[in-house]
A and B are shown apart, each in its own frame.
Chain A
Amino acid sequence: MTWLAWRQLRTQAAVVAGALVVVVIALVVTRTHVVDVYSPSGDHELTGIYVWLRLLGTVLIGLPAAIGAFWGAPMIASELEGHTQRLAWTQSITRDRWLAVRLALTAAVSVAVVAIFAAVFTWWCAPLDATDVNRIAPANFAQRGVVAIGYTLFALALGVLLGAVIRRTLPAMAATLLAFLVARLAIQKLVRPHLVAATTLRTDPFSPGPRGAWTLSTRTVDAAGHQVSAQALENHLVKACHLTRATPDVDQALANCAHRLGFDNLTRAIPSSSFWQLQAAELVVFVGLAAIAAAATFWWIRHRAT
């Protein structure tokens, strides 16, 4: 059965592997320059081709969705569409085994591709992350570490399930993209903030928040601990410290005034040090979702598919 699964995957796998080799070579060759740019004497700004290379992180974000749509959704849908399941499922092999082998092989190839890509890109970005870039904030979190492996497994299993249920390849691909996007954003917004413990930091209003952390919420409180809105704070400060438009360095004056009157910013944030812990927790969430989708697919092709 492994032979059949590989025979059905090998052409696309070869294309993807080729693209991966090109990407890895490009990143490996260019990393020395990134180290220089982000060294203490560097100018801390990527230019030219390096801007494009950094955008490979966006490709890494899109890759799990593409795998779900192009390898997951057609796995069963294209068989049902061409009726070839009547060939495959009438050989001397059970449907369960057929699905298990095809899922396992496709998952293995997908995870290998994504893991290599993510590892090399994380390494390429390490000089940025060590100095300038906030890697735990949502903009960069998915471009680093191991979470992309979880996204890939989930997108793949979701695609296979939707393909089996919808029975047509193109609608299944579209549904996979949409459902994966919704699930991924929903988890980022609703689940990720609760995966690891957040800390609350007390800082002066008008001062920059904690560096390198993922800020979940910020609120301003007065000396008594009551929350005040930004507008109310400003009105209060202007009145209390007699500030006008003519006051020199009005921003600094506002900050000093707020400090004197005992206003504080309370910031809930997940610190940069929790990066790997958060990566592991989100990986577990998505691997769990992938397992649920895969189990549903086994149930479906045993009881519902024809």
Chain B
Amino acid sequence: MTPAIEAGDLGKSYRGRWALRHASVSVPTGKVVGLVGANGAGKSTFLHLSVGLLAPSEGEIRVLGGRPGDGREQLAKVGMLAQDTPLYGSFTVADHLELGARLNPSWDSAAAEARIAKVGLDQKQKAAALSGGQRSQLALTLAIGKRPELLLLDEPVASLDPLARREFLQDLMELAADGLSIVLSSHLIGDVERVCDHLVVLVDGHVRLAGDIDDILGEHRVITAPRLRPDQPTDDEVIERTDTPRQTTLLVRGSGPVLDPTWTSTDVGLEEIVLAYMARPATTSPTLSSVGGVA
């Protein structure tokens, strides 16, 4: 099956500064994918590359088998809700629906109208007068009204209050249940954990971790042991190491058996795993030898 997004050594630089580099990642279809990273980690760049708003500086990216932004068929397949939900301030809600209908051959007018009615938007209201939550709902309606196969959302809930956020994420889960592939970027790991089943972690423009959330949770654990020598070997890849005078705590990836009876192994939450990856120095590659001095 064609992946939703397939990137190979993808890079994008702005005036010599790399916003994204050596990104190789395959995003499956039919899933809700969370794109997580700090501000400036390259999330927006990755999404803009995926929809064709940006062209890669190096490497290559295929979206649903095609080159992003390459012709109307490709554009029709991908819906985009950009950051800060750009809308035309002087256009009414109805104007925006008209825009969607005029510019998208596959526009589902009935569904879009129904959606606007359901979220309680007044069609005659100008976009400039809408609240953050209403803007998001209108922009989402535009993005899904064209009936895309893949929906990209750049920080869709950042400007929403908690209630609007919950409703918005609920809507996303309903869309995913209908078989739409969704990639959403966020720096709120809690939201991602609630709605996503696949995760891509970006750190300083590099892909640090990618996989199904269930697998990620299964592969990582915390090992607590009496204080270890810095060079004491472990079977697993150490993501994060904390030493106190009495004990050593390791966040490891791998499922090797814990042989030493003085060691204990516990499960670990997604947020802790993601934060550990985000905190790793950008220059190290995720190999055993380079982490925490463990040789």
Contact = CB atoms under 8 A, between A and B. Distances in A.
A91 B51 CA distance: 10
Contact of B87 (A11, A84, A92, A93): A84
A90 interface: yes
A87 B104 contact: no
Nearest to A95: B69
Contacts of B218: none
Interface string B88-104: 11110001001110111
Given A90-B75, A92-B75, A4 B86 contact: no
Contacts of B79: 90
Interface string A2-23: 0110011001000000000000
A306 to B, nearest CB: 5
Interface in A24-72: none
A92 B106 contact: yes
Contacts of B51: 90
A94 B100 CA distance: 14
B17 interface: no
A4 B87 CA distance: 13
A303 interface: yes
B54 interface: yes
A92 B103 contact: yes
Contacts of A85: 53, 86
Interface residues of B, number: 37
Contact of B54 (A87, A95, A306): A306
Give the residue among A4, A7, A11, A91 with the most B Cβ atoms within 10 A.
Answer: A91
A236 interface: no
A211 interface: no
A86 interface: yes
B55 interface: yes
Contacts of B82: 83, 86-87, 90
A85 B52 CA distance: 12
Given A3-B98, A92-B103, A92-B106, A87 B75 contact: no
A82 interface: yes
Given A90-B75, A92-B75, A306-B53, A82 B89 contact: yes
A94 B91 contact: no
Contacts of A93: 72, 75, 103
Contacts of A83: 82-84, 86
A201 interface: no
A91 B75 contact: yes
Nearest to A305: B53
Nearest to B51: A90
B53 A89 contact: yes
A178 interface: no
Given A7-B91, A306-B53, A94 B86 contact: no
Contact of A82 (B55, B69, B86): B86
Interface in B255-273: none
22 contacts: A3-B98, A4-B99, A7-B91, A85-B53, A85-B86, A86-B80, A86-B86, A87-B82, A87-B86, A87-B87, A87-B142, A89-B69, A90-B52, A90-B82, A91-B75, A91-B103, A91-B104, A92-B105, A93-B72, A94-B71, A95-B69, A306-B54
Given A83-B82, A83-B83, A86-B80, 7 more contacts: A85-B53, A86-B82, A87-B88, A89-B53, A91-B75, A93-B72, A94-B72
The list of the 8 closest CB pairs from A to B, nearest first, reads A91-B103, A86-B82, A92-B76, A90-B80, A83-B86, A92-B104, A3-B102, A84-B86
